Amino acid sequence: MSSPTRQMNTRRLPPLPGKGKRGAGSKGPSSNHTKSYHKVPDMIITGFSPIPSNHHGNNSSFFNHDGPLSIHDLNREALIQYLNHNPEFLDTYVLTHVNEQQIENWYLRKTSHLSHHTTDRQKTSEQFKLNGDSHHISDNFTHFSKYTSQIHTTKGRVAHVLSKEINHPSGRHIALSELASCVVKAVHAEGCNLYATDAATQEIVLIRGGKIVNENREKICDRVSIAAQVAYSKETTRLRDVTVDHRFPNGLGVACNRSFSVIVLPIMDEDGNVLGVLEVYRNSRFGQFSEGEEEVASFLLLWSGIMVDYAEIHSNMTKQRKLHEFLLTVTKSIFQDIVSMDTVIMKIMNYAQKLVNADRASLFLVDNQRHELYARIFDIGNGILSQAETQQREIRFPIDKGVAGHVASSGQILNIPDAYSDKRFNRDVDLQTGYHTKTILCMPIYIRGNIIGVVQMVNKLDGIFSRTDEEAFETFAVYCGLALHHAKLYEKIRRSEQKYRVAIEVLSYHNQCTDEELKQLRSLQHPEKLEAITSYEYSPWEISDVQKPIFVLDMFKELFTSMRFDISDLSRFTLTVRKNYRHVPYHNWVHAFSVAHSMYTVIKRSNHQFTSTECLALFVACLCHDLDHRGKTNAFMVKSASPLAAIYSTSTMEHHHFNQTVAILQHEGHNIFKHLTSEEYKQVLGDIKHCILATDLALFFPNRARLKEIADKNEFSWSIQEHRRLLHALVMTACDLCAMTKPWDVQLDSVNVIYQEFWAEGDEEKSQGFKPMPMMDRDKQNELPQLEVGFILGICLPCYELLAQVIPSTKPMLDGTIANLKQWQVMADKNKEEALEAAKQENNTEKA
């Protein structure tokens, strides 16, 4: 294809569109012979007119000529300006008069021209002198029509090879080798050299038959060969005679220095990175390479470079997807079946073999205490060791010995292509087993930054372990670490669970009533009448501990005559509840019995306002509401970081009391609710939990506020379940504090006992460096009357006032509380007077 300038000097252009025949005799628009080459709108160039105003004159004008216009009749700049302002004219001309082959040639020239400007460095390339002349890529292009079939054939062959070989480890090199052979045929070259770039070492390396020839390597920055120069500059180079160019002492870099004409082209991806270099050469038979042949080769490499880049991206994404699917399968398999450490190790080793296609696998765990590596499962080949064989063998060796020991000590990944050439390899194992180790891939397994094991792959089945194997195995090792960590945790949990079951079994045995205790209870005589104890003033503390279970049984019978109870189950339940109260000063079995007696009195005096299931839940809840109480408040349990506080964040002890109740009910022969239906059983247990939790004074205040609001508005209704549950909570608190309603002597004794428990807690707080509350401080026991006055006014009196408002029959509890308040007030006032007098005497002493 000749140069554009030569074409402009020789080509006859078609007449430009206008009105009237183009010629010397044209009369303008009035002519009857008006004819235009195309029917297009009139187009005006700024500053020019297609019909000059002086068109009748004899002077030559821009558009008036006799016959077709030639290049000598036009001004080049005017023509370019005309086409710029009238692009539709060019569109119409091209669509009508230019064939597809010419359009394709223009496209090839345009894309090839752009490819020379796609580079990261944006630097001026060196000018190569060809036989004494400075050479630039010329704008002249040979006609591409004779190369069209080769171009399409080459594109098809390269695409076929890419789709077939790209997933192969050497897929890129195989595809580029196929491309090189196609370019040789397309440009009639006698041979070629193909190089790949090594980004890590900044070298070019020769490729033969799709494989790397490591003996032929060259630093790119040295630029002693043409290929290295092209890889450095990213510019296509065409030399007419290699032998006379002294800038490249290595010539083509291989044994082809007899070559004369050569084209050296960079193979680049779309980001401008050099994938490789292609040299095509001729000796003498076909003469010099033409510019057109250079452009054909450039176009093929431009297209192929992008194709290879995209194919590799697709291949990498496919590999990543397969790796993710593999890891997902591994994760599901391992974590769904964590039954023992050995099972997890077996799965890890089997999956590791499949991942990198290894012949054998070993997994060593780190014993930090003994500074050793050990393995219960070793060298898994095609056969899998049985569990019995596994239990009989365990291999141990120092942590600094062998390849695995080096990895465990240093945390370094080792990929050894030749085991026997590595000093760290222990040959004794091969001598003992008769197995020949060739390649090793060994990797540490981390968890929380610490090495817990080492996985060792031996003998890749199809060569040596690659960098891709390392990357995939490194990702797999993360899952191995998590699996081993969870397997260890599972084993610890399983052992702890077994210990827990044993402990529960022992405690259950010792916390249940004995047959001897049951026999003794049955031998006791029941009281003749219970009317005497159905009084708010009655003191249950007068009943002996031996007799209390009998009274509990009788109160059960009195309250629930319509229900059927197994007397043996009820007896075991009562005796076991008694046994599960600790020997603390106040919150013990005596307190539980007094609270249950108080609830019995409320139920008996309330004229059947509670349902039978409510009465059952309330009475049992009172009997069990402080089970296993440790004599400490919830605040102390939280402050001292008790395990119970870790389990129950709110109402700590109350939740524990309820759980102990359920545990007792689950003992054989203790389920006193077995006669209930499933719905009744569920309802009773729910009510018991609600009632026991209500004894937490932290919940008393919101419960009381809500119920008082309803009662003050006279809106309380026994038919509304919410109102009943609020009343249950209030009754539980009233019975829990029943000692405040008893006669003064009983009240005084109870207060002295409870303060012994409070002061013991205060002493322990002091020993832990905490400052106890005044009521817990033994040093402030002289303030006890004032503290009791505050307690009655703040909690007891509001509780019993509201209870009497809703259940008038409980008013004796309010009266008893008011009577005791007066007594405490007298003592508090007396203490104030004594304290004032003592202060005066101390003041006088100081003045004296």
pLDDT band for position 18 (cuts 50, 70, 90): very low
Task: Please give the average per-residue pLDDT across 240-252, as a whole number.
Answer: 67
Known binding residue 591? Answer is yes
CA separation for the pair 76, 187 (Å, rounded):
36
Q: Rounded to 5 degrees, what angle do the CA atoms 21, 22, 25 make?
A: 80
Name the percent of the chain lying above pLDDT 70.
Answer: 75
> pLDDT value at position 253?
59
Average pLDDT of span 53-65: 43
Region 223-252: mean pLDDT is 77
Q: What is the pLDDT of residue 69?
A: 52
Share of the chain above pLDDT 90, in %: 34
Nearest CA to 418 out of 400, 402, 440, 387 is that of: 440
Give residue 119's pLDDT: 41
Question: In this predicted structure, what is the pLDDT of residue 26?
Answer: 38
Q: What is the DSSP letter of 65?
A: -
CATH code for the part of the protein at 337-494: 3.30.450.40
Give the pLDDT of residue 147.
54
- Better pLDDT: 412 or 224: 412
25 or 702, which is more confident?
702
Between 335-344, 445-454, 556-565, the lowest mean confidence (pLDDT) is in: 335-344
pLDDT-derived band at 242 (thresholds 50, 70, 90) equals low
Give the side-chain half-sphere CA count within 13 A for 6: 6
Eight-class DSSP state of 793: I
Q: How far apart are CA 247 and CA 224, in angstroms?
A: 7
pLDDT at 272 over 50: yes
Confidence of residue 7 (pLDDT cuts 50, 70, 90): very low
For 330-344, write each residue's pLDDT tens digit.
777 766 666 667 777
* CA dist., res. 204 & res. 275, Å (int): 10
Read off the tokens for 545.
């501990």
- Please tell me the distance from the alpha carbon of residue 309 to that of residue 799, in angstroms, as a whole number: 82
Distance CA 368, CA 416 (A): 26
User: What average pLDDT does the chain have?
Assistant: 79
Asked whether residue 85 is marked as a ligand-binding residue, the answer is no
Considering the entire predicted model, what is its pTM?
0.57
Q: What is the mean pLDDT of residues 468-497?
A: 83
Helix or strand holding residue 467 (H, E): helix 467-511
134 phi, psi to nearest 5 deg: -75, 125
CATH code, residues 126-317 = 3.30.450.40
Average pLDDT (348-368) is: 83
Mean pLDDT of 590-618: 94
- pLDDT for 46: 39
Between 60 and 225, name the one with better pLDDT. 225
Q: Hey, what long-range contacts does 16-22 have (CB within 8 A, 24 or more apart)?
A: 16/50, 16/63, 16/69, 16/82, 17/42, 17/43, 17/50, 17/89, 18/42, 18/50, 18/51, 18/63, 19/50, 19/51, 20/51, 22/63, 22/64, 22/65, 22/68, 22/69
Q: Where in the chain is the domain with CATH 1.10.1300.10?
A: 515-739
Q: Report the range of poorest mean pLDDT among 427-431, 433-437, 593-597.
A: 427-431
Tell me: is residue 143 an annotated ligand-binding position.
no
Mean pLDDT of the 589-611 span: 94
pLDDT category at 158 given cuts 50, 70, 90 is low
Catalytic residues: 587
Cross-strand bridge partners of residue 457: 361, 441
Supply the pLDDT for residue 80: 85
Which of 150-164, 477-491, 550-564, 660-674 shows the lowest per-residue confidence on average (mean pLDDT)? Answer: 150-164
Q: Which of 732, 797, 470 is nearest to 602 (CA)?
A: 732
- Where in the sequence of the chain do the CATH 3.30.450.40 domains occur? 126-317, 337-494
Across 6-15, 415-424, 476-485, the highest mean pLDDT is recorded for 415-424
Say if residue 24's pLDDT is above 60: no
Residue bearing the bigger pLDDT, 189 or 377: 189
Least confidently predicted of 93-97, 295-299, 825-829: 295-299
Model confidence band, residue 22 (pLDDT cutoffs 50, 70, 90): very low
**In whole angstroms, what is the distance from residue 274 CA to residue 231 CA?**
7
Spell out the residues 6+ positions from residue 642 whose beta carbon is closer than 8 angstroms to its own: 652
Which segment of 163-167, 497-501, 627-631 scores lowest on mean pLDDT?
A: 163-167
- Reading the block at residue 450, the tokens are 């610490």
SS3 sequence of 136-178: CCCCCCCCCHHHHHHHHHHHHHHHHHHHHHCCCCCHHHHHHHH
Ranges 67-76, 108-117, 367-376, 691-700: which has the least confidence: 108-117
Q: Which two tokens stand for residue 5?
A: 């300038």
- At residue 74, the pLDDT reads 67
Residue 807, pLDDT above cutoff 90 = yes
Q: What is the pLDDT of residues 742-775, one digit of tens each?
A: 999 999 999 999 999 999 999 999 998 889 999 9
Beta bridge partners of 276: 196, 267
Residue 821 or 504, more confident: 821
371 is in an annotated binding site: no
- Coil, helix or strand for 551? helix
Type of residue found at 427? R
561 band by pLDDT with thresholds 50, 70 and 90: confident
**CA pair distance 620, 732, nearest whole angstrom:** 11
Greatest mean pLDDT among 198-212, 587-601, 761-775 lies in 587-601
77-86, 326-335, 621-630: which is most confident:
621-630
> Using one digit for the tens of pLDDT, what is the confidence trace for 525-559?
888 777 778 899 999 998 998 999 999 999 999 89
* Residue 30's pLDDT band (cuts 50, 70, 90): very low
Choice between 519 and 527, residue whose per-residue pLDDT is larger: 519
* Residue 161's pLDDT band (cuts 50, 70, 90): low
- CATH entry, 515-739, from 3.20.20.70, 3.40.30.10, 3.60.10.10, 1.10.1300.10: 1.10.1300.10
